Amino acid sequence: MEKEILIIVASVRPVRAGGKVARWVMNQAEGRPADYKYRLVDLREINLPFFDEPGSPRTAETYIHQHTRDWSAIIEPAAGFIFVTPEYNHGYAPALKNAVDFLYREWKGKPAGFVGYGGSGAKDSIRQMREILDRFRMRIAENQSGISKIGEAFDEDGRLNEDLVSGSITALFDELEGMIASTA
């Protein structure tokens, strides 16, 4: 049975590098084992409002708002996640934190990894998000990728300068797939 790994674009800015980074991740995922399907999910398209459920997602048995039920329906069946995240002022993207806060059981215990981008590859953003996701008992991949000097990283044709990438995207895929396989 095919297992889906969502590549979640965390930035919702009108002008952003997140789309280019996510397309690069998707391109790198081509040719992965047939047991795994990678799918792009863009938080800008999901367009969640600021968290507006009346109760805690941790104890909620049902969600009040349709947008929360729709978000849950995307996250619940996923086997794992790769968060494509920028770093804003040495922190995580607010839209990513908000999207995570809407749900609880849908994230709980699942594996996740990061591809960060920014001036120095989003190291602070990733560190902070790792701490948050740990509260969901998510299994966080040790391997991650970071793209530094994001303003210079892609040429006008959308090709990435691989010299600006730290970490191995292949190692991240391998680790996530291995985590998923170990729970099947």
Per-residue model confidence as pLDDT tens for the chain (184 residues): 789 999 999 999 998 999 999 999 999 999 998 899 999 999 999 999 999 999 999 998 899 999 999 999 999 999 999 999 999 999 999 999 999 999 999 999 999 999 999 878 899 999 999 999 999 999 999 999 999 998 889 998 888 998 999 999 999 999 999 999 998 6
Tokens standing for residue 178: 């291995």
Residue 56 buriedness (CB in 10 A; 0-12 / 13-18 / 19+) = exposed
Q: How many CA atoms lie within 13 A of 145 on its CB side?
A: 24
Any idea which residue has 């994001």 for tokens?
A: 150
Q: Which domains does the chain have, with CATH numbers?
A: 3-183 (3.40.50.360)
Kindly report the number of other CB atoms within 10 A of residue 172's CB atom: 21
